[in-house]
Amino acid sequence: MSATSETLRAVPLFQGMTDRSIGEIAGLASEADFQPGTPLVREGDPGDTFIVIVDGRATVERHSERIGEMSAGDFLGEISLIDGGPRSATVTAVDPIHALVIECDGFRRLMDSYPPVRMDILTALTMRLRRDAPSVSD
């Protein structure tokens, strides 16, 4: 099932976009549901999707250690899609999760076509890097 404009407008990453842009992104995204206890992604697996949480909460674990939590508006999967490496963490649904899923090719089109979205994704990525590796500096 494809994403609806209403679902996309509820996501902070896509707020402020024109109706035309929302329509184009809806063509890239599909909606998915995850039940509690279900992994959205697993650490070490190949990364082929970008996921935006629309509703619900999930835990983030690396090397079986809990490192964080995600909720509505958060997104994941960009690291593997950008560098081609495996998933860097396991993200597991705590509550029922409703999400948008964009496949690799769609993610690349999203990054190429929407500079504000690209900047938001890159900003979130650098924030995660700084949080996880405090010795990294510019």
Residue 13: the pLDDT is 78
Q: Rounded distance, CA 101 to CA 88, Å?
A: 18
Q: Rounded distance, CA 61 to CA 64, Å?
A: 6
In a domain, 136, yes or no: no
Q: What is the pTM of this model?
A: 0.84
| Residue-range definition of the domain harbouring residue 25 | 5-131
Distances from the Cα of 80 to the Cα of 4, 8, 85, 89, angstroms: 26, 23, 5, 10
Quote the tokens at residue 73.
Answer: 């508006």
In a domain, 119, yes or no: yes
Residue 95: the pLDDT is 96
Q: List the one residue out of 87, 79, 64 whose CA is nearest residue 122.
A: 79
Number of structural domains in the chain: 1
Domain CATH for 64: 2.60.120.10
Q: Rounded distance, CA 66 to CA 58, Å?
A: 11
Residue 99: the pLDDT is 94
> Which residue ranges in the chain fall short of pLDDT 70?
1-2, 133-138
